[in-house]
Amino acid sequence: MRCWLVLVAAIPLTAHVVSISTGEAHVDGSRLTYVLRMPVYEVSHIANPSESLLQHIQFASNGVRGQIIGKSCRTEEDNYVCRATYEFSSEIDRLKVECTLPSITVPNHIHMLRAVKGDKTDQAVFDQSFTEAEIRFRPPSAAELAMKALAEGVWRAIAGTMQLLFLASLALAARSRRELLALIGTFLAGELIACALASRVLPQLSPRFLEAATALTVAYLAVEILLLPNAGQRWLIVGVLGLFHGLYFAMFLTSSGYDPAMFLVGVVLAECIVIAALALIFSRLARVAEPFRPVPIAASALFALGMVWFFLRLKS
């Protein structure tokens, strides 16, 4: 029971699965113009966001930080937008960026930065684990772009706590190896279909709705395990739930500009490895701790987590 309470108490720290902000940095000689766009609901709890946000992203060139010579912040439709101009002591060749926005938003916040200098561009993705990057204004090779997209797909598949919880519930839902393969196949198919249809679906969905729906996928699959242990066609349910998870990756792809094929290859590889590992762990745990009914206990914990997360998103 204590473990359940700890897990539920940790929900507010990981309540966002879709927490994304974007930034554009334009370099002209020794001057940099930066524009930050963040959903309004992400800044509602931040004291004095016009000062705090820009303090958590720093730009440096040749070892010297740029000095802000002008800035403004305001709400524009559903976004909070900050614009700042930085002056450097010399012409900007390479740009070192430090971003700690997750420390004042939510732990799994993602900031995607695109930098432009003349006809040259580069981009970087920041989160709680990757807070620094160097922008090099040179055209990346095709191999570099492919490997970067592949690595980002792997990381995004396993970076979120709730994504890992759903993969755990998926492994828990399988009653045999054959069914596990069917669940994995339909889940991945649902994700890929969602990404293919994203251009039609995403404009009609808000990030908040997507978060709440994703929370329900964890809770619903837990209910299947608890109340319908012998239910057929579970693979079909998992395929439908995969659609909601695919929309998260589609939203990330739309904002980042990564190559979709390589990104999704990374996602699929990571998810298959994680599900297989968790299924192996659960099968051994079920044999060792069979008298304690580990599957119902784990499913109950997943249901509680999913529902708490869902109601937190409704209230935010």
Query: What's the pLDDT tens digit per position in 157-202?
Result: 887 777 787 888 888 888 888 889 998 999 999 999 988 887 666 6
288 and 220 belong to one structural domain:
yes
Q: What is the pLDDT of residue 315?
A: 66
249 and 170 belong to one structural domain:
yes
pLDDT tier at 81, thresholds 50, 70, 90: very high
Residues 6+ apart with CB under 8 A from 229: none
- Say what the pTM is: 0.67
Q: Is 130 part of any domain?
A: yes
86 and 159 belong to one structural domain:
no
Q: What would the pLDDT profile of 9-65 be if each residue is shown by its tens digit?
A: 334 434 445 678 999 999 999 999 999 999 888 888 888 899 999 999 999 998 899
The CA distances from residue 315 to 14, 20, 70, 168, 172, in Å, are 15, 19, 36, 26, 29
Structure tokens at 90: 């010399």
43 and 133 belong to one structural domain:
yes
Q: What is the pLDDT of residue 69?
A: 94
Q: Is 269 part of any domain?
A: yes
Point out the domain boundary residue: 109, 139, 169. Answer: 139
CA 113 remoteness from chain centre? 15
179 and 87 belong to one structural domain:
no
126 and 57 belong to one structural domain:
yes
Q: Is 58 part of any domain?
A: yes
Q: Is 6 part of any domain?
A: no
Number of domains in the chain: 2
Q: What would the pLDDT profile of 199-255 be if each residue is shown by its tens digit?
A: 666 655 666 677 777 777 778 788 877 887 777 778 888 888 888 888 888 888 887
The sheet carrying 94-99 orders its strands as 64-65, 57-61, 94-99, 132-136
Q: Is 9 part of any domain?
A: no
